[in-house]
A = this chain, B = another copy of it.
Amino acid sequence: MALQSASGSDSSLGGVVTFITDFGTGAPYVGIMKGVMLSVAPWLRFVDISHEIAPQNIREGAFILATSWRYFPPGTVHLAVVDPGVGTARRPILLAGPDAFFVGPDNGLFGWVFGPPWEDYPAAGPRPLPEGWQAFVLNQPRFWRPDISRTFHGRDIFAPVAAHLAAGVRPDELGKPVGEVTALAWPRPQPAGRSALRGEVVYTDRFGNLVTNIPAKLVAPSARVEIAGHTILGLSPTYAEATGLAALVNSFGLLEVAVPGGSAARMLNAGPGTPVVVSPADG
């Protein structure tokens, strides 16, 4: 098995486990998961990516995971728990790639990790694994907590499995191989009239910046961007050089609409799903 975690197997360094959940940081749920994991492997180290996924919003969790996991060192275990189907038939899974591991419910959270979804456009449903990836349905209760609730598999199944994995247990000891994971559909930008492209907002951050599904490489610097009744002419190279509502290339390489010093989300009353149309300047 080539998927050994370099860091996890060296207890002096400590395996790194990241978290993406919708649990918030006020309730004890995240702390409980970390306690469970430290009880398995006291040297683990945690990075909270986000606990503020909107409740039950698998799509947002999948986006945050897809845009962040590649920045972590090889062997990192990414634990994602946005799990409205907890206790039902949705499968608990472990996904092992060449550079990372993923643990959580197979409900679409992990369907966008193989490539940036704005490049490979996943469809909804089962998605076959690319070369170099393996998936396992978790079915080895000896690696779980002794009593399994029907309301908190993050604590009872996913946290202990992630901890064992980060501690060096092989993925194939933790579950049985399956050939696909569940994906949500990525909203592919569509042609709209003569040489225009219709996309949508896919994420709003704390600044009220509106991240769209339109790859910046499809947008000319002089493009016209229309959103929520407003028209923006040309891309701004930086936030600081914009005056008022602006379009620019964000740090993921996606088209973003922003109001530097303000909030585009508030100004436009826009958010995920808001349509965006990009067309040539003279369109």
Contact = CB atoms under 8 A, between A and B. Distances in A.
Interface of A: 7, 11-14, 16, 18, 22-32, 34-36, 38-39, 42-43, 45-53, 55-56, 64, 67-73, 76, 84-88, 149-152, 155-156, 203, 205-207, 237-241, 248-251, 256, 260-261, 263
A30 B49 CA distance: 7
B27 A87 contact: no
Contact of A239 (B48, B86, B249, B250): B86
Given A87-B238, A206-B23, A47 B31 contact: yes
Given A26-B205, A31-B68, 7 more contacts: A14-B43, A25-B48, A28-B67, A31-B50, A32-B67, A34-B47, A150-B249
B68 A49 contact: no
Contacts of A13: 11, 42-43
A71 B35 contact: yes
A66 to B, nearest CB: 9
A28 B64 CA distance: 6
Most buried by B among A18, A27, A43, A152: A27
21 contacts: A18-B31, A23-B205, A25-B25, A25-B50, A26-B50, A26-B205, A27-B203, A35-B68, A35-B71, A35-B72, A35-B76, A38-B76, A42-B73, A55-B206, A56-B261, A85-B240, A88-B240, A149-B251, A151-B239, A151-B248, A155-B251
Main SS at interface, chain A: loop
A236 to B, nearest CB: 10
B16 A38 contact: yes
A28 B50 contact: yes
A205 B24 contact: yes
Contact of A240 (B27, B51, B84): B84
A47 B25 CA distance: 11
A271 to B, nearest CB: 13
Contacts of A249: 149-151
A86 B261 CA distance: 13
B16 A31 contact: no
Contacts of A87: 237-241
Most buried by B among A84, A151, A237, A248: A151
